């Protein structure tokens, strides 16, 4: 259901919500890469929501798909989930979750309270892994499914779990009967563990999936635990940072420098030189659990121009000594990008070659007397084929109005 018959993306990719419908291989590191790939092809109905800081700098850009309004979690979110939760109770639940760091408050304007969920912080993964034993690799998938059923106050029946489990393992008409029999036996063993260890929904006892401290902090609201978990899980799946197209920046210093920047599933921490306010290095970390932090150096010349940016795969930038514009950019993968300019210093040509000197791409720019781009011609020679694309730009009295 993520693609239509013409292979157009028609559905947002939300890893936690997709656990019931996608094979196991679509999770983990590969899942993040798949999400980034799908987000390169926008759906017909999509958009962005923006938020700005005190100096009108962009600090958030939330990617949205469809006409559903994605509100951040707020004190009123719990009363909206259940008619049994009063406005006062909803506020008190919010305060408990914020105090115990299950929610990080994020006050954009100092008036409207909202926040971000510390995803799965309430789940006892250590105990779940221990109880699953040799099936511990399924812990995150199982936690997602269990939370879904618990939040709906529904019991995960064995027959339903079988179907979900076979979906994870990509069982279809071509799967050998012997393999299916093994998979079904594995599903039975896992479901038995979940049933015997108290992981399935019950009206008269707490669920082993959640940490004991989570129950203790919400002891006055234990009757609403399924609804509270439902709110947390729902917002964790669609909040800032859960789409490969999201952008968020914060920890902006007194000079207006971004110290901490998130774009898609990439997390960047920027370290600046004290003497001249230039970026010295960038620490990079992916959301994927098995990815470690990597530090990239940035090098500047005497004029302050960036000559090396490892985080972008740029090994060297060569500038024209007269105009101080970049002439050649050498990339880590062996490609080289060169630029040509007119007498006014406007770019008129971009040329890309690979490590063997073979032309991969060429972009030609036609500009008006004010230097504005009127037409761009892109010639793509990848895979020894020639593709041409033309883009025309239309301007009005106040600037660009279409293309």
- CA–CA gap between residue 33 and residue 38 (Å, rounded): 9
**Residue recorded with tokens 């506020």:** 91
Q: Which of these ranges, 77-86, 162-171, 391-400, has the smallest mean pLDDT? A: 391-400
Mean pLDDT of the chain: 86
235: tokens are: 């917002």
119: tokens are: 């995803």
pLDDT single digits (tens) 362-376:
999 999 988 899 999
Q: Which of these ranges, 41-45, 91-95, 103-107, 265-269, has the smallest mean pLDDT? A: 41-45
**Residue recorded with tokens 């740029």:** 314
- CA–CA gap between residue 183 and residue 260 (Å, rounded): 44
At 44 the pLDDT is 59
| Residue 48 pLDDT level (bands cut at 50, 70, 90) | low
pTM above 0.75, yes or no: no
Output 261 or 134, whichever has higher pLDDT: 134
| Residue 63 pLDDT level (bands cut at 50, 70, 90) | low
Across 168-180, average pLDDT: 90
At 30 the pLDDT is 80
pLDDT at 111 over 70: no
CA dihedral 5, 239, 118, 198 (to 10 degrees): -40
What is the distance in angstroms between the CA of the first residue and the CA of the last residue of the chain?
Answer: 32
Across 100-121, average pLDDT: 78
At 300 the pLDDT is 93
| Residue 14 pLDDT level (bands cut at 50, 70, 90) | low
pLDDT single digits (tens) 182-206:
999 999 999 999 999 999 998 888 9
Across 282-310, average pLDDT: 85
pLDDT single digits (tens) 268-279:
898 998 877 889
267: tokens are: 């997390």
Cα–Cα distances in Å, from 368 out to 334, 344, 349, 350, 393? Answer: 34, 11, 15, 18, 11
CA dihedral 83, 85, 88, 93 (to 10 degrees): -140
CA dihedral 310, 315, 321, 327 (to 10 degrees): -110
| Residue 66 pLDDT level (bands cut at 50, 70, 90) | low
At 325 the pLDDT is 93
261: tokens are: 């920047």
Burial environment of residue 275 by CB neighbours within 10 A (0 to 12, 13 to 18, 19 or more): exposed
- CA–CA gap between residue 80 and residue 285 (Å, rounded): 35
The answer for residues whose C-beta is within 8 angstroms of residue 139's C-beta and 6 or more apart is 125, 128, 129, 132
Question: What percentage of the chain carries pLDDT values higher than 90?
Answer: 50
266: tokens are: 């990439």
pLDDT single digits (tens) 201-240:
988 889 999 999 999 999 999 999 999 999 999 888 777 7
Across 296-303, average pLDDT: 92
pLDDT single digits (tens) 336-389:
999 999 988 899 999 999 999 999 999 999 999 888 999 999 999 987 789 999
Output 70 or 76, whichever has higher pLDDT: 76
Burial environment of residue 73 by CB neighbours within 10 A (0 to 12, 13 to 18, 19 or more): buried
Contact predicate 1/10, CB 8 Å: yes
Output 250 or 12, whichever has higher pLDDT: 250
At 96 the pLDDT is 96
- CA–CA gap between residue 95 and residue 98 (Å, rounded): 5
Question: What angle separates helix 177-196 from helix 158-168, to the nearest 10 degrees?
Answer: 130
- CA–CA gap between residue 338 and residue 32 (Å, rounded): 32
Q: Which of these ranges, 17-31, 37-51, 76-90, has the smallest mean pLDDT? A: 37-51
């Amino acid at each position: 259901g993520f693609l239509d018959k013409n292979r157009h993306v028609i559905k947002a990719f939300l890893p936690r919500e997709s656990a019931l419908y996608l094979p196991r291989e679509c999770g983990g590191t590969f899942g993040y890469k798949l999400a980034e790939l799908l987000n390169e092809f926008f759906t017909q109905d999509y958009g962005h929501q923006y938020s700005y800081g005190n100096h009108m700098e962009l600090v958030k850009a939330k990617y949205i798909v469809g006409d559903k309004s994605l509100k951040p979690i707020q004190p009123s979110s719990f009363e909206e989930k259940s008619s049994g939760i009063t406005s006062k109770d909803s506020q008190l639940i919010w305060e408990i979750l914020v105090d115990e760091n299950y929610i990080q408050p994020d006050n954009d304007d100092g008036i409207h309270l909202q926040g971000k969920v510390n995803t799965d912080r309430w789940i006892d993964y250590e105990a779940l892994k221990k109880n699953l034993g040799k099936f511990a690799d399924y812990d995150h998938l199982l936690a997602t499914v269990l939370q879904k059923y618990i939040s709906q106050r529904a019991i995960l029946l064995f027959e339903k779990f079988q179907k979900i489990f076979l979906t994870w393992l990509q069982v279809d008409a071509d799967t050998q009967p012997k393999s299916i029999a093994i998979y079904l036996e594995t599903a039975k063993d896992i479901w038995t563990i979940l049933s015997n260890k108290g992981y399935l929904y019950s009206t008269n006892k707490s669920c082993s999936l959640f940490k004991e401290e989570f129950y203790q902090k919400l002891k006055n609201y234990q009757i609403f635990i399924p609804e509270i978990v439902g709110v947390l899980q729902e917002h964790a799946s669609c909040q800032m940072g859960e789409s490969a197209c999201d952008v968020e920046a914060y920890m902006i210093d007194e000079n207006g420098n971004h110290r901490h920047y998130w774009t898609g599933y990439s997390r960047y921490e920027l370290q600046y030189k004290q003497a001249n306010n230039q970026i010295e290095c960038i620490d990079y970390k992916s959301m994927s659990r098995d990815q470690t932090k990597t530090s990239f150096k940035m090098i500047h010349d005497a004029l302050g121009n960036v000559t090396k940016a490892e985080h972008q795969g740029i090994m060297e930038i060569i500038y024209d000594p007269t105009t101080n514009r970049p002439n050649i950019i050498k990339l880590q993968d062996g490609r080289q990008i060169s630029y040509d300019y007119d007498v006014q210093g406007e770019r008129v040509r971009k040329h890309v070659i690979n490590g063997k000197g073979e032309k991969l791409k060429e972009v030609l720019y036609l500009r008006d007397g004010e230097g504005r781009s009127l037409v761009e011609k892109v010639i793509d020679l990848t895979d020894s084929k020639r593709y041409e694309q033309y883009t025309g730009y239309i301007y009005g009295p106040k600037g660009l109005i279409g293309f």
